[in-house]
Amino acid sequence: MKICMIGTGYVGLVSGACFADLGNDVWCVDKDHHKIDMLNNNEIPIFEPGLKELVNKNNQQGRLNFTTNLKFAVQKSEIIFICVGTPTLKKKGSADLKYVLQAANEISKCINKFKIIVTKSTVPITTGDKIEKIISKKRSKRLYEVISNPEFLREGEAIRDFRFPDRIVVGSNNKKVTKRLQSLYDPLIKKGAKFFSTNRRGAELIKYASNAFLATKISYINEIANLCEKTGVNVEDVSLGMGLDQRIGSRFLRPGPAYGGSCFPKDTKAITVTGDQFEADLSIIKSVIKSNDKRRLLLTNRVKMILSNKLKMKKIAFLGVTFKPNTDDMRQSTSLLMIPKLHKSGAIINYYDPSGEKKEFSKLKNVSFFDNINSACNKVDLVIIHTEWEEFKAIDFKKISRTKKFKIYDMRNLYSKEMMKKKGFDYYSIGR
């Protein structure tokens, strides 16, 4: 099939490369000339394991192309995916649909024959209605169909998630169009993916409801971890015991920092705004948001406690600052609150992250990036394991601490308490 992906961000680029790898002809479109130039020069603007190889392979074989010419790409394609950003409106908390609606308007000018227009961006209920209204001003309803096909890609695991999805959700009232999308995803369905069709509004809500539920699980186990710390119970035992119940499941029951990234913070806020608009009480989700906001401050205060509230000139090393491993995404990462607050209290901060130096900390004095673990942890008072990168799971702390003994705050529970005690470290973890 011939496909157009509008937007070469995380969703558009990963999905476009994966669709091309299934044998489709894909045009990825973006207004950003720099991005398109990078992609045409085999450079990848985002950090995602395996993506560079996949993009280069399909580009070289002629199935994946990049352009700023939206009209050309739309007219060449049968299916058009809208994959632009939907950031949070700061004052309202709702999703900013500016880029989605702009894309719809541009598409309306280009339609020359029947097109299937698909929202893959995470959008609130009724967004498809708005897109339809915009396009109908310029084109007959016979020339297009607007459907919803939300993405469920995890950063750091995106290519695998596309190739082996739990489910494929398509929202449309047009059975013929639904079958066409089913045909597009047929290679994945044959490998075991479940295809689920519903109406357009239903598909839009499934994405938000899913993310809000997962955010709830994270906040829930983080609160249980707080209780475990007070009562001397191991939260890992609690998580395991809960997870064995098939009604609950074990995934997303690992305590740690507050949830972050591009989805959970934004989508939980957006669904509560939708609830208010439709006068539906979503008090559980609102409480999850509050709990997550408190989490960042609670962990910062615990660092202060570990250092006996004496932070002035104390050296602290952060191992990892992104919200999760295998991504360079800093959005809503707990480190964005912790590091400035600890810095303000007089601490000297070193940090190392495999995805590189972060501009978010560039203006803070006494906050320094190091390009390896040993240098970052040299002669510090406290090491904080913030992000669960693979290379942090087998660190020789004994060797690093020869120059100066330090405390360890393992916010991902990567190490055994007993083992660290035997090695003579003051070791702190989450919920244990």
Distance separating alpha carbons of residues 414 and 333, to the nearest angstrom:
19
Query: Phi and psi for 171 in degrees, rounded to 5?
Result: -110, 110
Residue that the structure tokens 């309202």 belong to: 92
Distance separating alpha carbons of residues 27 and 183, to the nearest angstrom:
19
Distance of alpha carbon 340 from its chain centroid, rounded?
23
- Beta-bridged to residue 118, according to DSSP, are 81, 147
What is the DSSP code (8-state) at residue 142?
G
Helices (H), 232-334: 235-243, 264-277, 283-306
84 neighbors 107 (Cβ within 8 angstroms):
no
Active-site annotation holder among 83, 228, 263, 377: 263
Concerning whether 263 is annotated as a catalytic residue, the answer is: yes
115 neighbors 80 (Cβ within 8 angstroms):
yes
Two tokens, residue 313: 């000139």
CA dist 205 to 46, 116, 127, 171, 287, Å? Answer: 27, 20, 11, 10, 19
Altogether, the residues listed in the chain come to a count of 432
What is the DSSP code (8-state) at residue 392?
G
Cα torsion 248, 252, 256, 261: sign: negative
Residue 429 has, within 13 A of its CA and on its CB side, a CA count of: 21
CA dist 231 to 49, 343, 432, Å? Answer: 40, 31, 9
> Please, is 356 exposed, middle or buried when counting C-beta atoms within 10 Å of its C-beta (0-12, 13-18, 19+)?
exposed
Two tokens, residue 315: 């050296």
Cα torsion 196, 197, 203, 209: sign: negative
Element containing residue 248 per DSSP (H, E): none
b/e 142-158 (16+ beta carbons within 10 angstroms → b):
eebbbbbbbbbbebbbb
Catalytic residues: 263
